[in-house]
Amino acid sequence: MASRTKRRWRLPWRFVWRLALLLVAALVVYESWFFGKVVWWIWVNPTTTAFMEARLETMRKENPQARLRHKWVPYADISGNLKRALIAAEDAKFLDHDGFDWEAIQRAASRNLKRGKVVAGGSTISQQLSKNLFLSGRRTPWRKLQEAVITVMIETVMSKRRILEIYLNVIEWGNGVFGAEAAAWHYYRTKAGRLSPEQAARLAAMVPNPRYYDRVRSTPALEKKAGIIRSRMHMAPVP
């Protein structure tokens, strides 16, 4: 009788262990797909991102003929002014951290706690890139965890120069406007390599809310932020 009872207990535990192993294997395969894409993009330029595809889908609900404005340009063909402006505005410790600016995250959490809602973020350029490349815009604990895992992958296998190059080429800068080249032409009718310090500072100031500033090109808040970024650009090292 006792041996029969033990057999009954063994079967469920054996099933649980097998199920756990299958789940771990599935997770490894799932994460390996992300890692494979990150490694591929060390040498191959992304032609689109998850965020770009989501925006195009939304735009085509209103206009089936809608298209994104996007043109890849090499790192060397993007103005140093824009590189410095974005680092000054978005991630001053970009060259020093390993993907996470823990002090910025702590400050953002403290501000959000005081206001009782999300009013600030502490995301680095690497975190923003991981989100833009792979993930939806929904704020969920799973998405934030996956973003952190992809950020570690990006920082592990990519150089800072490559991270910044991809970021400059894929971030949103207006309604359907993605990347530095499209943004430079959309706002200033010039190439990304010819942006002045003032133009670069304004573009960097638009990044947190690009579709709004595409409609409303000048506000006191935008001008103030652009001025602050411009004053800090000389202190922003670039890879």
- Average pLDDT (92-99) is 92
- Residue pair 17/24 in contact (Cβ under 8 Å)? The answer is no
Residues 18 and 122 reside in one and the same domain: no
Residues 34 and 59 reside in one and the same domain: no
Within 10 angstroms of residue 73's Cβ, the number of other Cβ atoms is 19
Residues 189 and 213 reside in one and the same domain: yes
Residues 121 and 149 reside in one and the same domain: yes
Residues 81 and 32 reside in one and the same domain: no
Tell me the per-residue pLDDT of 28-44, one tens digit each, with 9 for 90 and over.
Answer: 777 889 899 999 999 99
CA-to-CA dists, residue 98 to 94, 107, 141, angstroms: 8, 18, 21
- Average pLDDT (87-107) is 87
Which structural domain, as residue segments, surrounds residue 17?
1-40
Q: What is the pLDDT of residue 4?
A: 52
Residues 60 and 18 reside in one and the same domain: no
Say yes or no to pLDDT of 194 above 70: yes
Long-range CB contact pairs, 183-188, < 8 A, 24+: 185/69, 186/69, 186/214, 187/217
Residues 126 and 28 reside in one and the same domain: no
Residues 143 and 31 reside in one and the same domain: no
Tell me the per-residue pLDDT of 163-181, one tens digit each, with 9 for 90 and over.
Answer: 999 999 999 999 999 999 9
Spatial distance between the Cα atoms of 12 and 158, rounded to a whole number of angstroms: 44
Residues 214 and 135 reside in one and the same domain: yes
The pTM for the full model equals 0.87
Q: What is the pLDDT of residue 119?
A: 45
- Number of independent structural domains in the chain: 2
Q: What is the pLDDT of residue 182?
A: 98
